Structure 1
Amino acid sequence: MILFPNAKINLGLDIERRRPDGYHDIVTLMYPIGWADILEIVPAAGSDTTLTVTGNSVDCQAEKNLVMKAYRALDAEVNLPPVDIYLHKVIPDGAGLGGGSADAAFTLTGLDSIFDLGLEKEYLAEIAGSIGADCSFFIYNRPMLCTGTGTTMQPYDLDLSKYHIAVVKPPFSVPTREAYSAVTPAVAPRQIAEILRLPEAEWQGELKNDFEPTVGARHPRIFEIRDRLYSLGAIYAAMSGSGSAVFGLFENAILADDLKRVFSDCATFAGRL
């Protein structure tokens, strides 16, 4: 079975408070996009489950990869047969795009399909949530308003399919811990769910990512990319998650080759939402 775990963007991200357990309560709208890895799961040639990773490098041992963690988590519940897993990384890591989380979630749904387990999405989402905060989103893979630590999700009716998207990931990553350490949590005066009801052309200046000011201050290239996307015609542009990727929404198509020429030292994606 071959699957295509896709990335996500965050439309607005409010960091409301720091919890006693050290995590943060947030509000954000996660929206799936077409930038995708390639994941293949086949019956194992031997007696053990294996993971082979190609493409963009992921600096971790196989057992620490979220894909293998997903297999182990589901195996603990239903006693799976061994499989060989091949992951070709296309989505850059350390970007705020959820690539690793998508890989884990698609591993769970792929295993459910291959072995005809018939598991409910809610059950798979619970397992996914134990692997990583963003993982549950990719079980549903539709626009979701996320609250709490990001694992409490409510479907949100938002259709941006008339727009095109450009995503630019500069040649550096932003550790999540670093991003949180510089932010002062506060409840926003206007809720993201309310702002998203405005016409998309009015999001600029209203729909904000609380990470962006401090991360951008440390890494000015993020502001440069955002402003360049606006100059290219974006109706809205922002950093995704804790960075470092920046995206722009466009009414007209932007060619992948043109985007790469403008941001020649960056990883880029252009497509339709």
Structure 2
Amino acid sequence: MLKFANAKINIGLHVTERRADGFHNLETIFYPVQLYDVVELLPANELSLHIHLASLAVDEQNLCLRAYRLLAADFNLPPVALHLLKHIPMGAGLGGGSADAAVTLLLLNEQFNLGLSTLALEAYAAKLGADCPFFIQNKPMYAEDIGTKLSPIQLDLSAYKIVILKPDLHISTAEAYKNVSPLTPQIDLREAVQLPIQEWKLHIKNDFEIGLFDRYPQIAEIKRRFYEAGALYSSMTGSGSAVFAIFEEVDALKEMEELGQLFWPTAL
């Protein structure tokens, strides 16, 4: 049994405060896009994980293995062989690892008839990472707290072209948070995304950009070049390093390939 694990982009991201537990509260809009990893689950005599097309270490910190062990602690699961085909770039802010973990939970729930509800699956996913619960329902969501408090939002970008460019940079979440200062948002993202997309650049921002653009000017250059190419809106996604752009129409953007790897996902 296999499932496709898609990426997400963040439309706006406000870091609002540092919590007593060391994490940060934020608000953002998660939006799913059709850029996929693949997770396959097969019967096996012992638990194993095989990663394809990526040089990821297979250890107990891997989110797919953690997802299995999380459910195995509450259910009598037999061992399985997990195969992970990576296509979503890592250290990009696209949520690939979180998507893989969420899809592993979904596969296990389906394969072994665990009967877990969406709310129960989201609760398990929240134990794995802040982005993970979003991928259970996998539809546009307004997210609060550390990213685990989700509310559906009406947003449809299927009429537009989405382009993602991932530079040859890996930015850890810890590094991104070192360069951000929590602020009280001046706008309500839920209202701002109802504006025409042409106006988003005047109102919607990613708080991580300020510190990371200074440290990595090539990311700022990607955003600038997207706007030069006619983007209606462009932003770094998550904690970076990938930048996405939304176009009404767009050519091949061959001139931007020197800046990194281009992806052309469509909206889900």
Identify whether the pair has TM-score above 0.5, normalized to the shorter chain: yes
Distance in 1, Cα, partners of 2:164 & 2:104: 25
Residue 117 to residue 250, structure 1, CA distance change in 2 (3 Å): same
Deviates more, 1:242-251 or 1:189-198: 189-198
Give the corresponding residue for 1:37: 37
Distance in 1, Cα, partners of 2:173 & 2:70: 24
Give the corresponding residue for 1:241: 238
1:269 aligns with 2:263: yes
Please state whether the residue corresponding to 1:94 is helix, strand or coil: coil
Distance in 1, Cα, partners of 2:242 & 2:139: 20
Distance in 2, Cα, partners of 1:266 & 1:88: 21
Distance in 1, Cα, partners of 2:88 & 2:96: 6
Distance in 2, Cα, partners of 1:262 & 1:183: 28
Contact 2:237/2:244 (8 A) holds in 1? yes
Distance in 1, Cα, partners of 2:95 & 2:245: 17
Among all aligned residue pairs of Structure 1 and Structure 2, give the percentage whose two residues are the same amino acid. Answer: 45
CA offsets per residue over residues 79-133 of structure 1, 9 Å max, x none?
A: 2111111101111111111000000000000111112222101101100100111
Give the corresponding residue for 1:225: 222
CA offsets per residue over residues 141-198 of structure 1, 9 Å max, x none?
A: 0011000111111111111111111001100111211111121111111111111111
Give the corresponding residue for 1:26: 26
Please state whether the residue corresponding to 1:16 is helix, strand or coil: strand
Contact 1:253/1:271 (8 A) holds in 2? no
Deviation at 1:260, TM superposition (A): 5.8
- 1:10-159 to 2 correspondences below 5 Å: 10-44=10-44, 46=45, 48-58=46-56, 60-159=57-156
Residue 259 to residue 85, structure 1, CA distance change in 2 (3 Å): farther
Contact 1:9/1:241 (8 A) holds in 2? yes
Contact 2:222/2:259 (8 A) holds in 1? no
What is the letter of the counterpart of residue 49 of structure 1?
A: L
Contact 2:49/2:58 (8 A) holds in 1? no
Distance in 2, Cα, partners of 1:175 & 1:120: 32
Contact 2:166/2:241 (8 A) holds in 1? yes
Q: How many residues align?
A: 267
What is the letter of the counterpart of residue 145 of structure 1?
A: Y
Distance in 2, Cα, partners of 1:198 & 1:66: 37
Contact 2:27/2:145 (8 A) holds in 1? yes
Distance in 1, Cα, partners of 2:154 & 2:12: 15
Deviation at 1:252, TM superposition (A): 1.8
Deviation at 1:261, TM superposition (A): 5.6
Q: Please, which runs of 5 or more residues in structure 1 have no aligned partner?
A: none
Contact 1:260/1:268 (8 A) holds in 2? no
Residue 132 to residue 147, structure 1, CA distance change in 2 (3 Å): same
Deviation at 1:35, TM superposition (A): 0.7
Deviation at 1:71, TM superposition (A): 0.6
Distance in 1, Cα, partners of 2:208 & 2:96: 19
**TM-score using structure 1 length:** 0.94
Q: Please, which runs of 5 or more residues in structure 2 have no aligned partner?
A: none
Please state whether the residue corresponding to 2:264 is helix, strand or coil: strand
